[in-house]
Each structure stands twice: as structure tokens, then as C-alpha cells.
Amino acid sequence: MGKALIIGCGGVASVAIHKCVQNSEVFEEICIASRTKSKCDALKEKLDGGKTKITTAQVDADNVDELIALIEEVKPDIVMNLALPYQDLTIMDACLATKTNYLDTANYEPEDTAKFEYKWQWEYKERFEKAGITALLGSGFDPGVTGVFSAYALKHYFDEIETIDILDCNGGDHGYPFATNFNPEINIREVSANGRYWENGEWIETKPMEIKRVYNFDEVGEKDMYLLYHEELESLAKNIPGLKRIRFFMTFGESYLTHLKCLENVGMTSIEPIEFEGKQIIPLQFLKAVLPDPATLGPRTKGKTNIGCIFKGKKDGVEKTYYVYNVCDHEECYREVGSQAVSYTTGVPAMIGAMMMLTGKWNKPGVFNIEEFDPDPFMEALNKWGLPWKEDFSPVMVDSEPVKEKE
Ligand code: NDP
């Protein structure tokens, strides 16, 4: 049915590529292109022999001309950007120049400022419309499935959604005192930033990890979770009409937080360049180099993730609540695709998003967040491709008190 050019060959890309190969009816051909071609070749060797034709290429995704040349050579129906958020705009530029559909799993973040927002990518909307191509932003789990869950809740269970709490729980244990489950640089930038949530039409900023709650997660148990800013808050606050409040909570263990605080205190999480032995280095990038590679955590990680959304709102004038979530087992993921659940829960939705576009279910010219498309075929695909979801119609809420009205 189609051909995908996949850029990046790290943790998330590896899962997405395994899933594309399992879904050879849709992904007849894939080209894996990344900075380090040997990783692409190793994955090709592991997966070759099935129905999907696999090729590989070297590309520097910071370089628009190189990307254009590669897209012109491969002629894909879609470019799946599974590299880093820093490459979003260069890849979108190359897609525009070649009139090729685009998908990613994280919004653009300039490398020198730890500030991610959709503004840069939303600015491409008109140009994508004029070129007649689709950009699907944020087709991972969060962002990604959390947006699909929100669109599904609104379509089937609510006339109006008042509050959304997104709960991201990782009950996995890799046995290291400190390691990050995905790219350490991206992960640490995210958790060391101020928290922020949206209430009554405005953003409320908190200090990092200032707001803590305890929640008892299905199949995982009780965990401490902290309010963080997360990118889907921005698009959902815009795309879910009538929303009064949206927050995002992520679980962290005490050991993780103590290590992080210590690293922060000694300056290791800084992105300001420093001079070291005559060379400019960025402390956070150096830290990334000494931490365990997330790709190596797979065989060591036990336990489960539980990620979902709790909604409160009204249907036919009656108040109701609804919780939809997925539980994913680290060891089962490793057995299936050789990666732990954090990469798995992102790589599977990346494949599904691309499948929605290649099968023509989700095609409209412009730049869109995932909740702007019909959630039903995506929800069905989650059950089929390894991320089944569960529903609870009387969930325990994170807070029992209602949202305060603006004075
Ligand atoms: P990794 O660091 O494991 O992989 C990144 C890959 O991109 C590597 O193969 C790397 O190449 C490649 N790459 C980096 N820079 C370039 C470049 N300039 N040109 C070409 N290739 C490049 O990251 P993850 O797989 O963990 O994450 C991938 C994406 O998924 C990130 O954007 C991340 O933010 C996002 N993500 C989204 C989630 C969601 O739920 N929505 C959850 C988790 C992650 P090399 O091997 O040479 O380093």
C-alpha cells in the first residue's frame, strides 16, 4: 500500500520499525535513515526476510538539502520523524519542498533553549495546506494516544469535557540507581523545567515538582506523581471546546528525584556551554554520554506502565467521569520487539499514525494535532497492535474538589 521513510534509529524508531514490518500489508517498503547508518543496517539485518522491503541510508536531519535529496531518491508516501525534537522544522521544510506527508512524536524544541511549544510547527499550517500535504504532530503516547483518548471521550461519552488529568505512571524498575527511560537529554530537560497547567483560560506556573499527588494505578499500585508541563496540554486546551482545566502528572521514585536534584545542584543538567580542556561542552550532553543508553534498559526492566486520561464533564446535562488507560508490561515488550515499554508505547502509535495516513483515513491538507482526527480507527488499531485500553466509568479522581471559578 505504501512506502515510509523513517528518520532516526533509536529506541522509539526501533519499535515503530518492528511494527511496520509486522504490518507489511500497509508498509510495503520502508527506508530507515539516521545519523549513524550502522544502526539502521543492524536493524535491517535483524528484520529482513519478511514481506516489507527494507533499505537504509545515512542522513543528517539538521541539513534540509540532504533531507530533500534523500526524499527525492526514496520517494516515500510519508516521512516519519523519529529523530529528536530539534529536527522537526528541518524535516518539515524538506517535506514541504518535496510535497511529502509528515509525522512526528514530539514538538519542536530549539536546541539552545529548553522551551517546547507548538507555535513553530503550527506556523507551517498554511504552507502545508497550499502544498496539499498533511502533517500529523505528536503521534506517540503522550502526546499521541492521550489526544486520541480525549477525542474519543468527547465523541462518545461527553457533550462537554470540563477537566482532563493525564496520568503517566511508570512502575518499571531497571535496577540502576539513576537512568532515564528515553533520551536522557530530552527527559531531563522536561522534568527540570517549571510545571504548568491550564485553568479557566490561563496558564498557571509551578516550580519543578511543586505539586505532588498519590494515585493507586491499576496493575501497578500506589505511586507518587508530580505535576509537569507536557506538550499536549497546549493543543488539547485549544482543541477540546469548553475545557476548564487540564493537567499532566508523571510518577517518579524518590531515588530518581534525589539523583536529579544532586545533578542539578552541581550543574550537570545545564544546557549552557562550558569550556573544558580547551573544548566547549554542554554539561547535559556530557551527562547523557555517561548515563546508561536507554536502549540497553530493555533486558533489565521489569514491571508495567499505566498511562491514561481521567475526564470529568457532562452528558445530557448529567455530570459524569471516565478514565481510559493502557497498561503495558516492560518484559512482554522486550520479548516481542527487544525494547522496554517506554519506547514501545511511543513506537506503536507512531506506526498507527502513519498507517492512518497511508490508508487514507486521516488525510487533510494542513498541520494537525492528533485529537483533530476521528479517533475511532486509531482506538481500534491500538487494541490490534499491542496497546489495548481499559475503561473505568467511576474512577477515583486525582482531586475531589471542583475547579475554582475565576474571580
Ligand atoms: P533516541 O535518542 O533513542 O533516538 C534518536 C535517534 O535520532 C537516534 O537514532 C539518533 O541517531 C537520531 N538522530 C539524532 N539527531 C539526528 C540528526 N541530526 N540526523 C539524523 N538522525 C539523528 O531517542 P528516542 O527514540 O527515545 O526518541 C525519539 C523521539 O521520540 C524524540 O523526539 C522523543 O522526544 C520522542 N518521544 C516521544 C514520546 C511520546 O510519547 N510522544 C515518548 C518518548 C519519546 P544516533 O544514533 O546517531 O544518535
Tell me the CA–centroid distance for residue 83 and ligand 1, in Å: 4
* Residue of 58, 64, 84 with the most ligand 1 atoms within 8 Å of its CB, for mutation: 84
ipTM higher than 0.90? yes
Judged against a pLDDT cut of 70, whether residue 407 lies above it is answered with no
Tell me the CA–centroid distance for residue 380 and ligand 1, in Å: 27
Whether the CB of 81 sits within 6 Å of ligand 1? no
The ligand 1 atom at the shortest distance from the C-alpha of residue 144 is 41
**Cβ atoms of residues 273 and 280 within 8 Å:** yes
Tell me the CA–centroid distance for residue 311 and ligand 1, in Å: 31
* Mean pLDDT rounded to a whole number for the chain: 95
Tell me the CA–centroid distance for residue 316 and ligand 1, in Å: 44
Determine the average pLDDT of the residues in 377-382: 98
Distance of CA 179 to the CA centre of its chain: 19
Closest CA to 194 of 238, 236, 228: 228
The ligand 1 atom at the shortest distance from the C-alpha of residue 13 is 25
Q: What is the rounded end-to-end Cα distance, in angstroms, of the chain?
A: 55
Q: Read off the pLDDT band of 406 (50, 70, 90).
A: low
Judged against a pLDDT cut of 90, whether residue 322 lies above it is answered with yes
Judged against a pLDDT cut of 90, whether residue 102 lies above it is answered with yes
Q: What is the structure's pLDDT at 149?
A: 98
Q: What are phi and psi of 54, to 5 degrees?
A: -115, 130
Angle 145-156/341-358 helices, nearest 10 degrees? 60
Quote the CA–CA distance of 335 and 316 in Å, as a whole number: 45
Angle at 195 between CA 192 and CA 197, to 5 degrees: 155
**Cβ atoms of residues 325 and 389 within 8 Å:** yes
Tell me the CA–centroid distance for residue 180 and ligand 1, in Å: 14
Quote the CA–CA distance of 342 and 100 in Å, as a whole number: 29
What predicted TM-score, i.e. pTM, was given to this entire model?
Answer: 0.94
Quote the CA–CA distance of 378 and 327 in Å, as a whole number: 17
Tell me the CA–centroid distance for residue 18 and ligand 1, in Å: 16
Determine the average pLDDT of the residues in 284-301: 90
The ligand 1 atom at the shortest distance from the C-alpha of residue 142 is 40
Q: What is the structure's pLDDT at 1?
A: 85
- CB neighbourhood size of 154 (10 A): 22
**Cβ atoms of residues 21 and 44 within 8 Å:** no
Q: What is the structure's pLDDT at 116?
A: 78
The ligand 1 atom at the shortest distance from the C-alpha of residue 9 is 9
Angle at 356 between CA 327 and CA 43, to 5 degrees: 70
Judged against a pLDDT cut of 90, whether residue 384 lies above it is answered with yes
Whether the CB of 378 sits within 6 Å of ligand 1? no
Tell me the CA–centroid distance for residue 278 and ligand 1, in Å: 29
Q: Exposure of 241 by Cβ count < 10 A (0-12 exposed, 13-18 middle, 19+ buried)?
A: exposed
Determine the average pLDDT of the residues in 355-383: 97
Whether the CB of 395 sits within 6 Å of ligand 1? no
Whether the CB of 263 sits within 6 Å of ligand 1? no
Distance of CA 14 to the CA centre of its chain: 14
Whether the CB of 164 sits within 6 Å of ligand 1? no
For the sheet containing 53-58, what is the strand order? 53-58, 27-34, 2-7, 78-81, 101-104, 134-137, 366-369
Cell numbers standing for residue 86: 530539534
Q: What is the structure's pLDDT at 297?
A: 87
Which three-class secondary structure state does DSSP give residue 335?
Answer: helix
Judged against a pLDDT cut of 80, whether residue 374 lies above it is answered with yes
Q: What is the structure's pLDDT at 165?
A: 98
Ligand 1 atom 2, closest CA? 183
Whether the CB of 307 sits within 6 Å of ligand 1? no
* Residue of 44, 58, 80, 82 with the most ligand 1 atoms within 8 Å of its CB, for mutation: 82
Peptide bond into 143 cis (omega under 30): yes
Stronger pLDDT, 349 or 182, i.e. the higher one: 349
Q: What is the structure's pLDDT at 294?
A: 82
Whether the CB of 182 sits within 6 Å of ligand 1? yes
Cα 142 to Cα 87, 130, 181, 258, 296: the distances in Å are 19, 29, 14, 25, 22
Determine the average pLDDT of the residues in 123-145: 98
Which three-class secondary structure state does DSSP give residue 237?
Answer: helix
Closest CA to 87 of 197, 6, 169: 6
Determine the average pLDDT of the residues in 263-281: 93
Secondary element (H or E) of residue 380: helix 376-384
Whether the CB of 102 sits within 6 Å of ligand 1? no
Angle 145-156/376-384 helices, nearest 10 degrees? 120
Determine the average pLDDT of the residues in 183-206: 89
Whether the CB of 140 sits within 6 Å of ligand 1? yes
Whether the CB of 92 sits within 6 Å of ligand 1? no
- 304-315 vs 318-329, strand pairing mode: antiparallel
Give per-residue pLDDT as tens, 219-251: 999 999 999 999 999 999 999 999 999 999 999
Tell me the CA–centroid distance for residue 13 and ligand 1, in Å: 7
